[in-house]
A and B are shown apart, each in its own frame.
Chain A
Amino acid sequence: MQEAVIEVSKVSTRFGDHVVHSELDLEVRRSEIFALIGGSGSGKSTLLREMILLQRPDSGSIRVLGADLQELGDDEALALRQRWGVMFQHGGLFGSLTVAENVGLPLREHTGLEDALIDEIGAWKLAMTGLEPEAGAQYPSELSGGMMKRASLARALALDPELLFLDEPTAGLDPDSAGGVDELVRKLRDLFGLTIVMITHDLDLLWQVADRVAVLAEGKVQGVGSMSELSRMDNPSIRQFFDGPRGRAAQEQGKRQADTQADTKSEKPPSKPK
């Protein structure tokens, strides 16, 4: 078994009387694409925020990249934050900076690299996420939703993180761009050996990209496994992802694609998403 990058053990979180997590356990392994799913209010986002040091659980422990988040000093927290990248649902790009400046910001802030080099590397990260070079000079408010997500992803990748968190990477995108994201996520993992943790409701993304999926409900993880493993479980909170008409359609398509991809996936050079 591969080494665990994130270990969540016995985490409980409450907002007032409302229990979000009760003794939740979870493990994410190195170089896997891990998806968190669950209905609205099931605590996915809260769990993600706890993993990236934006929020503290009421009890329990979370270890990320070998460090216990509860016992972290300021310096270690800073070091740890530079080892992961986060793409927020609405981008979280700074409105007062251009896209290129947004992407270069982590490099400017945390390394001693020259400006010219930062601009070049930033331009490449933008190209890698499928944005045109012209987009770099624009301000986030001038971008479409899909471009904003790509720019946000480029910024998350600026420091070459080992761990990437994606919050709803395909929400609000047209099917074509969403397909681009599928491919991009897989390409990043293959190229850099990234560990990717994502929250998503996108059934295609789940079927075709995620290695393992955890279903959150009632404050606990109801089941973990690949989509086809999950599809054989009969827990009602897991079933809802498979039994609807959309769930069934995605399931069939996912199985078909998995068959055809099995042999071509490994050596195909990652084509640039549109």
Chain B
Amino acid sequence: MDPLSVAPAVIARPTPQELALSGSWTARGIGAIKPQLDALSAPSGSGMVVDGARIEALDTSGAWVLQKLLRRLRDEGTTVQVRDLRPAFAKLLEVVGRQVADQTDTLSTVASAPPSTLEGLGRSAEAAVEQTVALLAFIGESAVALAGCVAHPERFRWRPILYNIRSAGVDALPIVGLLSFLLGIVVAYQGADQLRQYGANIFVADLVGLSMLREFAPLITAIIIAGRSGSAYAAQIGTMAVTEEIDAMRTLGIAPLDLLVLPKIIALVIAMPLLTVFADVLGVFGGMIMAHAQLGVGFDEFLDRFAKAVSITACLIGICKAPVFAAIIAVVGCFQGFRTKGGADSVGRQTTRAVVQSIFLVIVADALFSIAFSALDL
């Protein structure tokens, strides 16, 4: 037998003046009884008798349904009598009856209407403005904390900085290297066909060199780090906020910004340019291999052309973007972490926001860099 099955509640009406109840009047037994109950109407004139002798089981859900039926019949003007109920069931029915009476008086839940389009727009605009202001405030607070640390260098916490350089920088080397290597291959491969048509095979070095060093290496590094470390920062700080660790830190006289935020920003600002150089090297190496395979450009030729085509400025432009991206990722990650309120749910939401916003801001910053560099003729 299926251990979950119970005898369903049954209601019969042998005579118009009598209701005979049987089966299990429990949460699992009364699932299908509702239409039958709704169809019942009080007999005209005389009273009614409910026979509960064959009820096998009664729980609060069943008693609740039964009481509502009795109330409805009584409201329709019939006198209803319940008889032959087991003593335990009668007691339960009575307790539930008091409650049903109380609740129908007080329970008038007003469902709030869903907001109109305009209201929704206003609310999300307000939230966006609020968040921007809060982000600016957070950047300001972090800057003040940083200034304080610079004024009193003994306040710098070197261990967390070194730890973060390892976890966000050294540990990210394999994935950053692999992805930029693949990106170099893709860039060279995509360019190969076009270049071959014009017999300009050697210019693959220009293509790969400039695009990797100026754009792709810093950007792919930033995106990987945003997904890898930005999310981790938001989740770590968010969980600490939920478990009151941040509050504990404040009461112990440790500034959370000093301990949690500054080391992350400093570590990432140091690590990201280094990761970008690593990505440069592997990206160009990937392009070199593809140039050799697809276009027959040898390694010596490639490097010779590379040295002429790519100025030191191009290389520095790419690397100087990295600390800016790093600061964006670390600040947004920590900021979203601190905004966590409530429970586990909120940690997930803030982590998602941290990643989406930091990638968005990184790309916006990259666009601004492009405009600035072209205005400066770099």
Cβ contacts under 8 Å, B64 to chain A = 117, 120-121, 124
Interchain nearest-CB distance for B71 vs A (Å): 12
Partner of A133, one of B4, B31, B107, B343: B107
B88 at interface, CB cutoff 8 A: yes
> Which residues in B have their C-beta under 8 angstroms from that of A128?
99
A75-B4, A141-B343 known; A117 vs B61 contact (CB < 8 Å): yes
In the complex, what residue of chain A is closest to B104 when comparing beta carbons? Answer: A120
Distance in angstroms from B350 CB to nearest chain A CB is 13
B31 close to A111 (CB less than 8 A):
yes
Q: Which residue of B lies closest to A106 (CB)?
A: B27
Contact of B27 (CB < 8 Å), options: A76, A95, A111, A127: A111
B31:A113 contact, CB within 8 angstroms = yes
Taken together as a complex, chains A and B put the C-alpha atoms of A140 and B343 apart, in Å, by: 8
Q: Which residues of B contact A140 (CB under 8 A)?
A: 343
Q: Can you list, as one digit per residue, whether each of A209-238 has a CB less than 8 Å from chain B (1) or not (0)?
A: 000000000000000000000000000000
B140 contacts the other chain (CB 8 A):
no
In the complex, chain A residues 92-142 whose Cβ is within 8 Å of any chain B Cβ: 95-96, 107, 110-114, 117, 119-121, 123-125, 127-128, 133, 139-142
Q: Nearest Cβ in chain A — how far from B311, in angstroms? A: 54
Per-position contact with A for B1-22: 1 when CB-CB < 8 Å, else 0? 0111000000000000000000
Q: A156-203: which residues lie under 8 A (CB-CB) from chain B? A: 159-160, 191-193
B29 → A minimal CB distance (Å): 9
Residues of B close to A191: CB separation below 8 A: 91-92, 95
Q: Is B65 an interface residue (CB 8 A)?
A: yes
Is B365 an interface residue, CB under 8 A from the partner? no
What's the minimum C-beta distance from A181 to chain B, rounded to whole angstroms? Answer: 19
Question: What is the minimal beta-carbon distance from A92 to any residue of chain B, in angstroms?
Answer: 11
Range, interface on chain B: 20 to 34
Collect the chain B residues with CB atoms within 8 Å of residue A114's CB.
34
Q: Does A78 reach chain B (CB closer than 8 Å)?
A: yes
Q: CB of B200 within 8 A of chain A?
A: no
Q: Could you tell me the distance in whole angstroms from the C-beta of B367 to the nearest C-beta in chain A?
A: 37
Within A40-94, the residues touching B (CB, 8 Å) are 75-76, 78-80, 82
- Give the docked Cα–Cα distance between A193 and B58 (Å): 13
Q: A107-B61, A123-B103 are in contact. Are A113 and B27 (CB under 8 A)?
A: yes
Which residues of B sit under 8 angstroms from A117, Cβ to Cβ? 34, 61, 64-65
- Closest chain-B Cβ to A267's Cβ sits at a distance in Å of 12
CB pair B28 A111 closer than 8 Å? yes
Measured CA separation A159–B29 after assembly (Å): 12
Q: Give CA–CA (A125, B64) in the complex, Å.
A: 12
Q: Which of B4, B60, B99, B106 is A78 in contact with, Cβ under 8 Å?
A: B4
B residues less than 8 Å from A193 (CB atoms) = 88
> How far, in whole Å, are A139 and B3 apart by their CA atoms in the complex?
34
Contact A160 to B342, CB < 8 A, known contacts A75-B2, A107-B27? no
Residue B30 lies at the interface, judged by CB distance under 8 Å to chain A: yes
List residues 299-341 of chain B with CB under 8 A from any CB of chain A.
Answer: 341
The CA of A125 and the CA of B103, in the complex, are separated in Å by: 12
Q: How far apart sit A140 and B341, CA to CA, in the bound complex (Å)? A: 12
Q: Is the CB of B4 within 8 A of A192?
A: no
Contact B26 A160 (CB under 8 A): yes
Q: How far does the Cβ of B84 sit from chain A's closest Cβ, in whole Å?
A: 20
- Chain A residues with CB under 8 A of B125: none
Within 8 A of A (CB), among B79-94: 88, 91-92
Q: Are B30 and A141 in contact (CB under 8 A)?
A: no
* B2/A95 in contact, CB under 8 A: no
CB neighbours of B366 from chain A (8 A): none
Contact yes or no, A141 B341, CB < 8 A: yes
**In the bound complex, what is the Cα–Cα distance between A119 and B107 (angstroms)?**
11
Q: How far is the CB of B107 from chain A (nearest CB, A)?
A: 6
Q: How far is it, in angstroms, between the C-alpha of A133 and the C-alpha of B345 when the chains are bound?
A: 24
Q: How far is the CB of B201 from chain A (nearest CB, A)?
A: 58
Question: For residues 324 through 378 of chain B, which have their beta carbon under 8 Å from a beta carbon of chain A?
Answer: 341-346
**B59: Cβ under 8 A from any A Cβ:** yes
15 residue pairs of the A-B complex, CB under 8 angstroms, read: A75-B4, A82-B4, A107-B27, A111-B61, A112-B31, A119-B109, A120-B103, A121-B60, A127-B103, A128-B99, A139-B343, A140-B343, A142-B342, A160-B59, A191-B95
> Which residues of B line the A interface, CB within 8 A?
2-4, 26-28, 30-32, 34, 59-61, 64-65, 88, 91-92, 95-96, 99, 102-103, 106-107, 109, 341-346
Known: A107-B27, A113-B27. 16 other contacts (CB 8 A): A79-B3, A79-B4, A95-B344, A110-B28, A111-B27, A113-B31, A117-B64, A117-B65, A120-B107, A124-B96, A127-B99, A127-B102, A142-B342, A191-B91, A191-B95, A192-B92
User: What 8 pairs across the A-B complex have the smallest Cβ distances?
Assistant: A95-B343, A112-B31, A141-B342, A160-B59, A79-B3, A111-B27, A96-B345, A95-B345
